[in-house]
Amino acid sequence: MQLREDIRNIAIIAHVDHGKTTLVDQLLKYSGTFRENEQVDERAMDNNDIERERGITILAKNTAIKYNDIAINILDTPGHADFGGEVERIMKMVDGVLLVVDAYEGCMPQTRFVLKKALEQRLTPVVVLNKIDRPGARPNEVIDEVLDLFIELGADDEQLEFPVVYASALNGTSGDEPEEQKETMDPVFKTILENIPAPVDTSDDPLQFQVAMLDYNDYVGRIGVGRVFRGKIKAGQQVVLMREDGTQKVSRISKLFGFIGLKRIEIEEAKAGDIVAVAGLEDINVGETICPQDHPEALPFLRIDEPTLQMTFLVNNSPFAGKEGKYLTSRRIEERLMKQLETDVSLRVDPTDSPDAWVVSGRGELHLSILIENMRREGYELQLSKPQVIIKEIDGQKCEPIERVQVDVPEEYTGGVMESLGARKGEMIDMVNHGNGQVRIDFKVPSRGLIGYTTEFMSQTRGYGILNHTFEAYEPVVKGQVGGRSKGVLVGLENGKASTYGIMQLEDRGVIFVEPGTELYAGMIVGEHNRDNDLTVNITKEKHLTNVRSANKDQTSTIRKTRVMSLEEAIEYLNDDEYCEVTPESIRLRKKILNKNEREKASKKTNIG
């Protein structure tokens, strides 16, 4: 069996913010892939605005690094479980994984999630203990934690013998021992080359190329990124595309691209083991296989994670519709959603009875909120309904998604957190006291119980708590009410501007969401009520001037700080009778029925029903 010693294919996996994208930056820098005078951004792999702002990787990306004449293809994967579909497919393209773990935080839920996928594919692991310079770093304990995790996830004896490199990606140092840090990435490169197996050279066999990721380009259309598993692939070649449904389609590869650094370069030919991109097959999809016409043989189809959460996207029909956005018609919104389907394989868009509404299903709140955030930045206006989990029927039984939740909280807040997750039908499965005042607790909680929980958790732990959750499995539906908002809202009575006087009159009724001077319309939500019922209020009321001088006239009026919600918080906050109105400039919460009398009539009908 011949191996291609000139190439290595690895995926880099880690929990969010453990430094994998920064590590890739350093590997690119130390390999000499960039010219001396080439300007390279930090976190060069995260090239999307939202990725840069939030410090997360959303889309899997690949880069090729040359080190001692060996090409190392590195695929940077998302750490969030919402993008699990990306991770799973990437594992099929590589022969080993670089598991990056924070030397202080240790193993986190997403570490478990991505590692489980890698071990299932029988990939060879290399562990990089990052942030070794961080105060409080505990390398020996964390290595034990990693070993325990490998055992728990069913790693075999070979996988348990994983090599470890210690590094500080931020400082560009690495070494074989925690204390031996040198300003070089050589120890990382050497460990990769010595441990990650080279691909088998089957270049003389008939071609098999499988698509694992999609990209889109206005000039060449849809681009399929994948690995050549067998044979050779050439630009201009006539091929047959093996579809999921068993059908075959004859096409021609118009262009073939390879990767060097962060660039995509046009190439003429690639062979077994190479990771390349193909253009010219307009309706190519993830998981499909490209073969020669005289030898059509498909690879096993790649499984794509099913959506677990859905929301209704609607055309904006509020009184402020069209004031702040460029695109608001149903045709423009539908076109944009269809364009998203070109590259996002975990997304589903279904029409409804109304031409102005679509049910959009995704892998979780983050997955959908990033799509919405991109749309509003592009100038779209739309309305969103409350997110709902997708209930599946398995063996004749209704099942719902269950998440594994890990919380890290200071000791004094553990009681409150356990009580609040218990009320959301959470089941505690593990609790570890680190002895430094910090406690880590693991729960299993129905996904619907987590909708809207983040805000409650943050106020409960005074912002000191860390909450992480990943999809665990589908289990029979939990009986009874799970989660949901416990308080009612303050609803504006009429159109106008919020006044300082109006806000001050309402401060003892709850928390206000709007600043003085904010334009409002009747039916818009302006705050949270202290009680569990909704209250219609006049927040635009001005103080009537009189000629009677008040004794405390010279006292300055001060109002409490208003609560400003992010897009995710606003979506999580919604109730069934409410919409979130999203425009390029504003995020507003509103009642579905804006008129107070009609709303009260509808509410009575619901209560009678």
| Binding site residue list for GTP | 17-22, 130-133
E-state strands within 1-143: 7-14, 61-67, 70-76, 96-102, 124-130
CA atoms 65, 281, 240, 245: torsion sign: positive
Long-range contact pairs involving 556-560 (C-beta distance under 8 Å, separation at least 24): 557/500, 557/501, 557/504, 559/500, 559/503, 559/504, 559/507, 559/512, 559/516, 560/507, 560/512
Residues 6+ apart with CB under 8 A from 461: 409, 410, 413, 416, 417
User: Which residue matches tokens 């794509």?
Assistant: 304
Which residues on neighbouring strands pair with residue 432, listed in sequence order? 440
Return the structure tokens found at 448: 């619907």
CB distance 20 to 12 below 8 Å: yes
Nearest 5°: the CA angle 409, 472, 128 is 65
H helices within 438-591, ranges in order?
447-450, 453-460, 500-506, 567-573
Q: Which helix (H) or strand (E) holds 279?
A: strand 275-279
Q: How many CB atoms lie within 10 A of CB 323?
A: 14
Q: How many CB atoms lie within 10 A of CB 386?
A: 20
**DSSP, res 120:** H
* CA–CA dist 513, 503 (Å, integer): 10
Count how many Cα atoms sit within 13 Å of the Cα of residue 52 in the half-sphere of its side chain: 8
Return the structure tokens found at 206: 């008939």
Q: How many CB atoms lie within 10 A of CB 138?
A: 17
Phi, psi (deg, nearest 5) at residue 172: 70, 35
Cα-trace Rg, the chain: 27
Phi, psi (deg, nearest 5) at residue 266: -75, 135
Whole-angstrom distance between the N-terminal and C-terminal Cα of the chain? 72
The DSSP secondary structure of 426-479, one letter per residue, reads -EEEEEEE-SSSEEEEEEEEEHHHHTTHHHHHHHHTTT--EEEEEEEEEEEPPP
Q: Which helix (H) or strand (E) holds 104?
A: none
**DSSP, res 184:** S
* CA–CA dist 380, 333 (Å, integer): 7
* Binding-site entries: 17-22, 130-133
